[in-house]
Structure formats: structure tokens, C-alpha cells
Amino acid sequence: MTAIDLTDKTYKEFITSSSVVIVDMWAEWCGPCKQLSPIISSIATDYPQVKVGKVNVDDYPEIGKDNNIMSIPTILVFKDGKLVKTIVGAFPKTQLINQMSEYL
């Protein structure tokens, strides 16, 4: 499975899944976001039971505003449609997995 590019039309339905959902908030100009991108893709592959999506906050600023995104990259973790964890910053894959381990 790969990370799905989300839009203002697909975001709300995507996060209300009964499974665990991870959403990467990013922007094209953001260096740390670019470093995190292959890690997010590998999480989508390694954990097929988890839905993984990406939101470009420049293209969809309302999604960022609705989620109080103050800096990027920010990873949002949802379970049963509820936000359960927010991770701000770029981390190596092992650290990121450790921060989300209780939901994977």
C-alpha cells in the first residue's frame, strides 16, 4: 500500500476509518518534509493494516487550520476517527515507529 494524497474532498472520509490512520501534513518547499516522505511511504508498505495519507498544506490550508498545524512536518494519528497523537518534526523511521507503536 502507498500513502494516499488527500484533498479537501477526501480528507474527512479518510480519517473516519475504523482502522488506524496516519496523515502526514507537509509542503513542497519544506526540506524536513522531503526527508520524511520516503519514511511515510515505507510505513504505508510495512503496515498494510494502517491507512496512510498525505496533505499538502499549501494546497489545502483549511485542513491544516482545522487541525491546528503550526509547523510541518506534522504527523497526525487517528484511531476510530479520533485524533490520538500528534508528532511534530522529522524523525528517523525507528523513532517515528516507536512514537506510534501503541497504534500500529
Are the beta carbons of 22 and 11 closer than 8 angstroms? no
C-alpha span between 81 and 27 (Å, rounded) = 24
Residue 49, CA distances (Å) to 9, 68, 90 in order: 23, 27, 23
Find, among 56, 2, 59, the residue nearest to 25 by Cα: 56
**Which residues are marked as active site?**
30, 33
C-alpha span between 83 and 15 (Å, rounded) = 9
